[in-house]
């Protein structure tokens, strides 16, 4: 069962302010939850539709059609100055405003083995729910 307070806390993570304050983000969907579990990222909470019910899942989901699985994940601490090995490819982004585009770029970086992306302050936030969905799990490798 899921409490009203948990529902409120998870719903709040749909807003950047609360993701930043709590250092958490939400992943939705069987594939993304599975990727999160295998990634080494800290899973703070995991919810399945068969455990909490359709109505509760619909209330915590950011999607129009709730998926059967959702997880709350701790954001990793980013280094102020990332360590870049000699010869390592790094992608630098400036001014990416569309969440779907950033998610696609992260997916492509993963495909080509690029493990680090640097983004300007005016780039959409990486833990935006639409970015996370668009990465299709690559967020846990890049």
The residue length of the chain stands at: 142
Q: How far apart are CA 98 and CA 55, in angstroms?
A: 30
Query: Does the predicted TM-score (pTM) go above 0.85?
Result: yes
46's enclosing H/E stretch is: strand 43-48
Closest CA to 70 of 133, 5, 131, 138: 133
**Backbone torsions φ then ψ of 84, nearest 5 degrees:** -120, 120
- Six-digit token string for 128: 């935006």
Question: What is the residue-averaged pLDDT of the chain?
Answer: 93
Instruction: Quick: pLDDT tens for 86-102.
Output: 888 999 999 999 999 99
pLDDT over 80 (residue 78): no
CA distances from 82 to 110, 113, 117, 142 (A): 18, 17, 10, 13
Whether the Cβ atoms of residue 96 and residue 117 lie closer than 8 Å to each other: no
Q: What is the reported pLDDT for 64?
A: 87
pLDDT over 80 (residue 80): no
Q: What is the reported pLDDT for 54?
A: 93
Least confident span in 11-15, 60-64, 129-133, 134-138 = 60-64
What 58-65 contacts at long range (C-beta under 8 Å, 24+ apart), as own/partner pairs, is 59/7, 59/11, 60/2, 60/6, 60/7, 60/10, 60/11, 61/28, 62/14, 62/26, 62/28, 62/129, 63/28, 63/133
């Amino acid at each position: 069962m899921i409490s009203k307070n948990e529902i409120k806390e998870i719903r709040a993570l749909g807003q950047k302010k609360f993701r930043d304050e709590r250092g958490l983000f939400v992943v939705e969907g069987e594939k993304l939850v599975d990727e999160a579990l295998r990634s080494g990222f800290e899973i703070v909470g995991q919810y399945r539709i068969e455990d909490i019910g359709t109505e509760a899942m619909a209330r915590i989901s950011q999607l129009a059609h709730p998926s059967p699985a959702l997880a709350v994940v701790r954001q990793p601490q980013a280094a102020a100055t990332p360590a870049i090995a000699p010869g390592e490819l790094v992608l630098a982004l400036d001014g990416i405003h569309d969440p779907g585009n950033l998610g696609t770029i992260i997916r492509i970086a993963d495909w080509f083995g690029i493990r680090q992306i640097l983004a300007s302050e005016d780039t959409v936030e990486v833990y935006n729910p639409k970015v996370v969905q668009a990465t299709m799990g690559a967020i846990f490798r890049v």
